[in-house]
Structure 1
């Protein structure tokens, strides 16, 4: 069984490389998408039930890449669930996730663990929600809106080990709200509450106090990092045994400044601005005044899309082309106390995780810059956390400007991270290089 999943994973490797640029650079708009039909699973009830992690509703779901087997669906039986989470201001909100009950038995140490999996970037449109992509694998809307569920590469290897997995859609994907891309608290809450909800599902092989591992790469790396440092205060009830943080974007402002002028990544700046505008209403008039017609059109173009591989953002990759003043977005942010305050809240590394953390980041990553990742690791170390930072210095920059290093760094981290988390479940001492960070 395990070899079958691994062969499938290898066959899908090319898929991740094809969509990897889109996985970090798809755009976002701050216009609220239309709600789906009233009877749709994704429309939350009003009012919501009380309590973060409370299950609102569930339904059986299918995995696009699965087959019947003697012990059940291979690699897993899928359950879609809506659950209560908290937004960036700690107000109740609804999120959707998918629980995957593996067909494989757990043969590792202790009881079966739960992986709280944070996905990489999928897009803003409701059709981009991971819970939908897992059932379809490919989402396409003409002429240029395409997304592939590339996270199955990691998901299926975890399931092949007999680990249960819960995959969050984050907030605003599928549900009638704005997906606040790279929002530190909203993403972290969605991950932690997905684990709470999965542990409350009836009929699973998990116990109420099952060990939990936080796991994510790219956007998911930021979500996992945020969840790791917020867990002690937000979800102390979870038995978190470790967190894998792969290729994270941990400082939205630094990310914009580092990548300004790189066409494949340019639409991600609009995603960030759209989330800021949705979450912090005071910033909207500032952005309306600072963005010119081109900048506003870039945001509008991306509305309800999974990915726009060729669009206005790529044609105007320098953010100075987006503004009325001709200044870069970084200059605009730094000159506005309102914007700067909102961006400051998205910086990961201000709190300290209580569980061990493995961070994997390529030093020459053209998507997720290394300097703020190292600063985050150093801050966690200074707070007493057990941190291992693997710099992946041997990974080359393949084609400058295309963020391919960010994609390639995923693969060595995938194997190393799964052995690391197995060791944490076996209560082996966690490695740390806090004394000599790379």
Structure 2
């Protein structure tokens, strides 16, 4: 069997030497051919896509270029007012630049080699995106900081980087010359898993970072709101590779943490982290499913053990917690009650914390049979709740109000 070819990443993804001053400023754009589309009477169904690069600010206050995609729906918006816009924050794709969601929209399935290892990525977020487009809702999707652009690593689950990237994607979409989105368009946020954390963070950061981005409603599915609990949940699971992406991103965002990591990482642990830095979720599952982080350290301690033992690392992780700031608009928080990968309890706590801060929250527990696979317990609700989530978001963007369920949270098990 012949070897797979290396994945070619278009030069579009390489940022320029100088970035614009304004957050959300459009750096460049180009037509993006969709892997899955149909010819229509008035244009391509479900819409016309544009690849974008825009400016954002990372958690260290530095300017950064972020890529993504915007899709103008072929169908009209039948609700009141201007066509609304939804920012879609993707779930876990990986850390290699070939894993970006905008590239997956173009190619559908990516199979090839990266640094002499097999890489596998699939654009699974296309289903949620197309469901929104079929409602006449415009969609802009962010690739996040460092996912696609070769100038830095993807800062996986960094709440500030992700929240800023989401909000600035909305600004960039409005700046496109071909968009029907205006400053009067209602804005919604949609995300599950990593994406759920990203949009939850964006809803919290909107008032201070992007007051011009008027967020009406947010769907935050299975958000990793408390990373200390999530780290414990994924260690030794099918998605153990995500631990490596987190560590790589933490060290990039806070270089001082590298000194802490150097005290614990074994040579094999360093090799694992380097290998994971170029992997997508498919290859990470094939290579590291079931692996324990204790095998990466000289002491045999897990990442959770080290977080507890090192105040500097614990402080960094604590600062990533989502739920300490009142979110903009109304937020629907959905989580599988048997989710032990991104634990159900910590997501529900985020919702309850928002309620205490005066946030408008709709809490939606998803009840599915418990399985022996944490991955299935986590991704099951992504599919079973998706239609309901898209319909809920569509109603909010059409101006239909939602009733908060905060009063029920204290008695929910």
Q: Provide the TM-score with structure 1 as the length reference.
A: 0.87
What residue ranges of structure 1 are gaps of 5+ in the alignment?
A: 1-34
2:90 counterpart (99, 106, 119):
119
1:397 counterpart (338, 345, 370):
370
The 8 Å contact of residues 85 and 139 in structure 2, kept in 1 or not, is answered as yes
Q: Which residue of 2 aligns with 1:383?
A: 357
1:129 counterpart (97, 100, 120):
100
Structure 1 residues 169-180: aligned runs within 5 Å = 169-175=143-149, 176-180=151-155
**Partners of 1:260 and 1:133 in 2: CA distance:** 27
2:234 counterpart (238, 259, 272):
259
The 8 Å contact of residues 366 and 404 in structure 1, kept in 2 or not, is answered as no
Aligned: 1:211 with 2:183: no
CA deviation string 1:233-279 (max 9, x = no partner): 111101211100011111222111133332x1211111110110110
**Partners of 1:173 and 1:92 in 2: CA distance:** 15
Larger RCO of the pair (alpha carbons < 8 Å, separation 6+):
1
**Partners of 1:423 and 1:67 in 2: CA distance:** 26
Q: Which residue of 1 aligns with 2:205?
A: 230
**Partners of 1:123 and 1:319 in 2: CA distance:** 18
1:415 counterpart (372, 375, 387):
387
CA deviation string 1:315-341 (max 9, x = no partner): 6x2222221111221111121122112
Q: Which residue of 1 aligns with 2:195?
A: 220
**What is the aligned length?**
398
2:404 counterpart (420, 424, 432):
432
Q: Which residue of 2 aligns with 1:374?
A: 348
Aligned: 1:157 with 2:128: no
Moved over 6 A (4+): none
Q: Which residue of 2 aligns with 1:345?
A: 319
1:278 counterpart (230, 252, 264):
252
The structural deviation recorded for 1:382 is: 0.5
Q: Which residue of 1 aligns with 2:72?
A: 101
Q: Which residue of 2 aligns with 1:242?
A: 217
Q: Which residue of 2 aligns with 1:43?
A: 14
The 8 Å contact of residues 241 and 284 in structure 2, kept in 1 or not, is answered as no
SS of match in other structure, 1:236 = coil
CA distance 1:312–1:151, change in 2 (3 Å): closer
SS of match in other structure, 1:361 = strand
CA distance 1:341–1:106, change in 2 (3 Å): same
The 8 Å contact of residues 298 and 312 in structure 1, kept in 2 or not, is answered as no
Aligned: 1:87 with 2:58: yes
Aligned: 1:69 with 2:44: no
1:187 counterpart (155, 162, 166):
162
**Partners of 1:309 and 1:397 in 2: CA distance:** 24
Q: Which residue of 1 aligns with 2:111?
A: 140
CA deviation string 1:138-193 (max 9, x = no partner): 11114632111011111111111111000101010111211011110101110100
Q: Which residue of 2 aligns with 1:325?
A: 299
SS of match in other structure, 2:359 = coil
What residue ranges of structure 2 are gaps of 5+ in the alignment?
A: 1-7
For the aligned residues, what is the CA RMSD? 1.7
**Partners of 2:22 and 2:309 in 1: CA distance:** 39
**Partners of 2:190 and 2:223 in 1: CA distance:** 11
**Partners of 1:128 and 1:261 in 2: CA distance:** 23
CA distance 1:129–1:64, change in 2 (3 Å): same
**Partners of 1:366 and 1:416 in 2: CA distance:** 22
**Partners of 1:207 and 1:55 in 2: CA distance:** 15
**Partners of 1:387 and 1:309 in 2: CA distance:** 34
**Partners of 1:257 and 1:413 in 2: CA distance:** 25
